[in-house]
Amino acid sequence: MNKKAFNPFEMAQAQFDKVADVINLDAATRDLLRNPIREYSFAIPVRMDDGTMKVFRGFRVQHNDARGPAKGGIRFHPHETLDTVRALATWMTWKCSVVDIPLGGGKGGVICDPHNLSQHEQQAICRGWIRQMAKNVGPVNDVPAPDVMTNPQHMLWMLDEFEVIHGGRYPGFITGKPVGMGGSLGRTEATGFGLIFTVREALREMGLKLADCTASVQGFGNVSQYAVRLFRQLGGKVTCVSCWDQEDQVSYTFRKTSGLDPDELMGITDPFGGIDKAKARKLGYEVLPGDAWIEQEVEVLLPAAIENQITGENVNKIHGKVKLIGEGANGPTTPEADKVIAERGIFVIPDFLANAGGVTCSYFEQVQGNMNYYWERDEVLGKLDVKMTAAFSAVSDLARKQKLYMRDAAYVIAVNRVAKACKDRGWV
């Protein structure tokens, strides 16, 4: 019998359904919130560098905008699906709600592999995506951002195309732009730093000193790089990171038990977060199988890559020493794994709280863009720390008072806020 393929949207709906039961949500509101309000699927024809025409498939899903404009990244991925985009848009709604910023949930994507595309071809995809969506996105209705395999340059091309079409300057339309072209200082660090701000608070609550803790991290993209950096700055030690190897089409774990140096690893890392194995070995790193990160004897696990990574099949490989899981990625833990983690008493900071630093700083960038006035880096990161700490405290307090799993407590807060906005607007 074939094993059923993982569907992230079904997982997002299952998580929602569980909490809808907890808070006794009425049928109409359930119906509205478990599905996106709007979905777009479209073709992007591109003339390739060799003169041929190729058609790429693009998506945008606006899950809910009752609390404000939809907000969410655009990812380039060869295996992108509409269901993945639906799930990510749904999680964005809860993410904006749990940190209490006036935005809703959106997500976009294109089925493509930037590894195999020239800069000119990538620019054509970006501009084509905007041409298809120009009437349905904008600073007051839907604000995109970078995501997996997209970056500030992609955002600037998209902003430029949007401004050409609409004949004006709209720096608040898209976030994650280059600093100096409407981007915010602190945005690059925001998701990784936000994750560690919540880890710091959780360890403090558990009576553990971060300086006495070691961590193992999955992924070595933007989130992981800055999470590792701040974890070390606060006195902790990181012994492992894992990453995808484009050449071998598998992932590897890089371990140095004495503690790894992110700057050293960055020197041998490609633009997509892939670490050079041969150079890593020369620097004293062990190169282990890709799933070895989950088995390490550490206090803190930080899955910071992609969805569906801690599952019913590998959850029992988590070492008995692990006290805390901080989900830097979106949807890294399946409901089956959640049950085991809860039974083992491991503290979980759920994804849409743990990695909300990115969208929080994107919100700051949007505000700065709309004001045409920009803050200094320390001010941005200080505001981020306040927001993330307050959101963590609210979720943790509710979890303790109502004896809820942290993920469920975060959902209760987030869903209640969105449901109230929908009711107040008279949508249900």
What average pLDDT does range 404-419 have in this prediction? 94
Burial of 282 (0-12, 13-18, 19+ CB in 10 A): exposed
DSSP for 363-428?
HHHHHHHHHT----HHHHHHHHHHHHHHHHHHHHHHHHHHT--HHHHHHHHHHHHHHHHHHHTT--
pLDDT above 70: percentage of residues in the chain: 98
Q: Give residue for tokens 């995501």.
A: 147
Average pLDDT along the chain: 92
Residues sharing a CB contact under 8 Å with residue 231, sequence separation 6 or more, in sequence order: 196, 199, 210, 215, 238, 300
From CA 425, how far away is CA 273, in angstroms rounded?
43
Q: Give residue for tokens 């991925």.
A: 77
Give the pairing type, strands 38-47 and 53-64.
antiparallel
Task: Compare 2 and 374 and report the one with higher pLDDT.
Answer: 374
Give the pairing type, strands 104-111 and 70-77.
parallel
- Helices 335-344 and 8-22 cross at an angle (nearest 10°) of 50
**CA-based end-to-end distance of the chain:** 42
Tens of pLDDT, residues 48-78? 999 999 999 999 999 999 999 999 999 999 9
CATH 3.40.50.720 domain locations along the chain: 188-354
Task: Compare 155 and 274 and report the one with higher pLDDT.
Answer: 155
Give the per-residue pLDDT at 2.
45
Among the options 4, 18, 95, 107, which is catalytic? 107
Is 179 a residue whose pLDDT tops 60? yes
Tens of pLDDT, residues 344-368? 999 999 998 999 999 999 999 999 9
Give the per-residue pLDDT at 250.
78
Give the per-residue pLDDT at 316.
86
Give the per-residue pLDDT at 375.
95
Q: Which of 303-312, 388-397, 408-417 has the lowest mean pLDDT?
A: 303-312
Is 288 a residue whose pLDDT tops 50? yes
One-letter amino acid of 360: T
Tens of pLDDT, residues 65-112? 999 999 999 999 999 999 999 999 999 999 999 999 999 999 999 999
User: What is the CATH number assigned to the segment(s) 188-354?
Assistant: 3.40.50.720
Q: Are 177 and 364 in contact (CB under 8 A)?
A: no
CA 279 to chain centre: 29
In the three-class reduction of DSSP (H, G, I as helix; E, B as strand; rest coil), residue 14 is classed as helix
> Tokens in use for 268?
């041998």
Question: Of the spans 272-276, 283-287, 296-300, which averages the highest pLDDT?
Answer: 296-300
Give the per-residue pLDDT at 272.
66
Give the per-residue pLDDT at 124.
98
Is 273 a residue whose pLDDT tops 70? no
One-letter amino acid of 73: G
pLDDT category of residue 1 using cuts at 50, 70 and 90: very low
Using H for helix, E for strand and C for coil, what is the string for 320-376?
Answer: CCCCEEECCCCCCECHHHHHHHHHHCCEEECHHHHCCHHHHHHHHHHHHHHHCCCCC
Tens of pLDDT, residues 194-218? 999 999 999 999 999 999 999 999 9
CATH 3.40.50.10860 domain locations along the chain: 38-96+104-183
> Tokens in use for 22?
């907890």
Tens of pLDDT, residues 202-258? 999 999 999 999 999 998 888 889 999 999 999 999 998 988 776 667 788 888 888
Is 382 a residue whose pLDDT tops 50? yes
What average pLDDT does range 392-419 have in this prediction? 94
DSSP label at residue 264: H
Q: Which fold has domain 38-96+104-183?
A: Rossmann fold (3.40.50)
Residues sharing a CB contact under 8 Å with residue 357, sequence separation 6 or more, in sequence order: 190, 191, 192, 193, 194, 195, 197, 384, 388
Concerning whether 54 is annotated as a catalytic residue, the answer is no
Is 37 a residue whose pLDDT tops 90? yes
From CA 198, how far away is CA 360, in angstroms rounded?
14
Report which of 105, 100, 107, 121 is spatially closest to residue 55, judged by C-alpha positions. Answer: 121
Give the per-residue pLDDT at 236.
93
